[in-house]
Amino acid sequence: QVRLQESGPGLVKPSQTLSLTCTVSGGSISTDGYYWSWIRQLPGKGLEWIAYINYSGSTYYNPSLKGRVTISVDTSQNQFSLNLRSVTAADTALYYCARERRSDYGNYFDPWGQGTLVTVSS
């Protein structure tokens, strides 16, 4: 069964870049029909989808993040990564990676990683 695990610093200074990696185990990141997403849970504000990528590098970003985001994939390591630039305290959140199943009948996130808390503070 596929498992996802986030890794990265738990504390980032304002104006710096938040960098996280998601390692996929139990299955290949290069499987057709799946995209790989980052989602964050903001304190008291619910869930916000950030971006997705597939194994060939096709990406889509949430316009709300105003061009601060880059997502990348490393198929040799079975990993994908998130970079969020120019962070502020508003980017403090629990960050999840998730596999997105995409089909003509809809898309859904399953499974999710356990999440990693990132705090933006000096």
Partner 1 sequence: DIQMTQSPSSLSASVGDRVTITCRASETISNYLNWYQQKPGKAPKLLIYSASSLQSGVPSRFSGSRSGPDFTLTISSLQPEDSATYYCQQSYSAPDTFGRGTKLEIK
- Contacting positions for partner 1 (CB under 8 A): 46-49, 60, 62-64, 96, 98, 101, 105-115
Q: How far is the CB of 80 from partner 1 (least distance, A)?
A: 17
Q: How far apart are CA 11 and CA 72, in angstroms?
A: 21
Q: How far is the CB of 22 from partner 1 (least distance, A)?
A: 12
Q: How far apart are CA 56 and CA 37, in angstroms?
A: 14
Q: Which is nearer to partner 1, 8 or 111 (CB)?
A: 111
DSSP string computed for 44-105: TTEEEEEEEE-TT--EEE-GGGTT-EEEEEETTTTEEEEEE-S--GGG-EEEEEEEEEEETT
Q: How far is the CB of 120 from partner 1 (least distance, A)?
A: 21
Backbone angles phi, psi at 72, to 5 degrees: -140, 165
Q: Which is nearer to partner 1, 55 or 109 (CB)?
A: 109
Q: Which is nearer to partner 1, 8 or 16 (CB)?
A: 8
Q: How far is the CB of 109 from partner 1 (least distance, A)?
A: 7
Q: Which is nearer to partner 1, 55 or 112 (CB)?
A: 112
Q: How far apart are CA 88 and CA 30, in angstroms?
A: 33
